[in-house]
Amino acid sequence: MKIVAFRVGKPKQFNYKPLFYDKEKEEMQERLRKLTETADSEESNLRSKIRENWRIREKRNNMLSKRTLYMYLIGVILLLYFIFLR
């Protein structure tokens, strides 16, 4: 068995990451970032346009359904008028 008077710490690790500037890579990353931002904005614009079109169609369908209901009511009233009063 060894008797140690003091403990020796582990040596520090060497973490050197060399710096390298790649102009083409940075330009490519910048173009990619811009494209993804425009794609996101275009996608959100497309979604908002689709929602607006759905709202317009829903309003139009509601108006058409009301109009057809009124037409049927007028037709039934005219039919009843001709049946009972003639």
Domain tally for the chain? 1
Residue 21's pLDDT is 82
Structural domain boundaries enclosing 75: 29-86
Reported as type and span, the H/E element at residue 86 is none
> Is 22 part of any domain?
no
> Is 73 part of any domain?
yes
Specify the 3-state DSSP secondary structure of 17.
coil
pLDDT at 1 over 60: no
> Is 10 part of any domain?
no
Question: Taking the alpha carbons of 69, 71, 74, 78 in that order, is the dihedral positive or negative?
Answer: negative
Dist. CA 48–CA 42, nearest whole Å: 10
> Is 5 part of any domain?
no
Beta strands (DSSP E) in 18-74 are: none
Q: What are the tens digits of pLDDT across the range 11-46? A: 888 888 878 888 899 999 999 998 888 877 888 888
